[in-house]
């Protein structure tokens, strides 16, 4: 099965858009006049719902993420380090043609498909809290990771797996509500938008390739945050 070739114009245009958007978001975070000093190291654990393009991404996947936040530059900014894993399992009717196996494998059958996306992120944020006991963080991150998809034919028992490295960027807002002024634990919610580009490093010039084009992601997450030093 011939691998589709990326549309160069599409990727180039998306890259320009992503670069400009990232530069604007980063500048806005650094120069935001309403920023507050962040005075605590924080660890967040959250469940995440990530929506991507159905055709070019991995669909809607659910999973979890961990985020570490470290104040820098006297608390003016924070470093953000994150790890995320999300997965989607679905069953559909289709064909699973694997050359040069017998053509009967191409008959319509029930196919189980598992899509996975794993990423690590590194970025900067700025505290723009809007009320006492409420922390609002504006952030921009760079991403790296891996996409993986596996298909399994229920009747033919044939399977195929494909994975590819990814790079990208994301920006959004992260809010935490602390139970009290000195509380070490709070409730967290986050929303972000990003762009992901398969790196095309699978080394296969003529194979099944579900990850070909750049795609966008939108994510909502809800969880809990613990802080480890005083916020005064």
Asked if 18 and 169 count as a contact pair (C-beta separation under 8 A), the reply is: yes
Q: How confident is the model at residue 181 (pLDDT cuts 50, 70, 90)?
A: confident
pTM: 0.72
Is residue 5 scored above 50 in pLDDT?
Answer: no
The ranges assigned to domains in the chain are 8-88+115-227
Q: Which of 85-94, 99-108, 126-135, 143-152 has the highest mean pLDDT?
A: 143-152
- pLDDT at 15 (0 to 100): 53
In the chain, the percentage of residues whose pLDDT exceeds 70 is 66
The yes-or-no verdict on residue 215 having pLDDT over 80 is yes
Four-CA torsion 157, 163, 169, 172, nearest 10 degrees: 20
Rounded Cα distance, 42 and 185, in Å: 9
Query: How many Å separate Cα 194 from the centre of its chain?
Result: 7
User: Mind listing the pLDDT tens digit for each residue in 14-72?
Assistant: 554 455 455 555 545 554 544 555 668 999 999 999 988 755 667 788 999 999 999 98
pLDDT computed for residue 31 by the predictor = 45
Query: Architecture of domain 8-88+115-227 in CATH?
Result: Beta Barrel (2.40)
Summarised one tens digit per residue, pLDDT across range 150-179 is 877 766 667 777 778 899 999 999 999 999
Structure confidence by residue, pLDDT tens digits, 100-118: 555 555 677 777 878 888 9
Given a cut of 50, is residue 2 above it in pLDDT?
A: no
Query: pLDDT at position 97, please?
Result: 67
Residues 6+ apart with CB under 8 A from 8: none
pLDDT score of 103: 54
Spatial neighbors of 163 by CB under 8 A, at least 6 apart, are 146, 147, 148, 149, 202
Contact 85, 118 (CB under 8 A): yes
Cα separation, 221 vs 65, in Å, equals 9
The pLDDT value recorded for residue 60 is 84
pLDDT score recorded for residue 73: 82
pLDDT value, residue 96: 67
- What confidence category does residue 232 fall into, taking pLDDT thresholds of 50, 70 and 90? very low
Closest alpha carbon to 193 in 222, 167, 218: 218
Contact 164, 211 (CB under 8 A): yes
């Amino acid at each position: 099965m011939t691998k589709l070739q990326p549309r160069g114009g599409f990727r180039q245009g998306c890259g320009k858009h992503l670069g400009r958007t990232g530069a604007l978001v980063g500048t806005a975070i650094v120069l935001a006049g309403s920023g507050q000093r962040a005075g605590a190291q924080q660890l967040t654990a959250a469940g995440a719902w990530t929506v991507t393009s159905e055709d070019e991404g991995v669909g809607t996947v659910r999973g979890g993420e961990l985020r570490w936040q470290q104040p820098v530059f006297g608390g003016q900014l924070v470093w953000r380090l994150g790890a995320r894993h999300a997965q989607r399992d679905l069953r559909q009717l289709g064909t699973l043609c694997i050359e040069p196996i017998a053509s009967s494998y191409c008959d319509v059958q029930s196919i189980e498909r598992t899509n996975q996306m794993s990423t690590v992120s590194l970025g900067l944020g700025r505290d723009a809290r809007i009320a006492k006991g409420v922390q609002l963080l504006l952030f921009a991150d760079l991403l790296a990771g891996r996409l993986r998809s596996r298909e399994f034919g229920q009747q033919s028992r044939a399977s195929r797996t494909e994975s590819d490295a990814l790079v990208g960027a994301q920006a959004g807002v992260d809010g935490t509500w602390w139970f009290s002024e000195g509380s070490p634990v709070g409730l967290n919610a986050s929303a972000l938008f990003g762009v992901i580009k398969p790196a095309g490093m699978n080394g296969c010039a003529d194979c099944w390739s579900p990850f070909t084009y750049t795609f966008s992601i939108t994510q909502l997450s809800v969880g809990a945050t613990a802080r480890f030093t005083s916020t005064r």
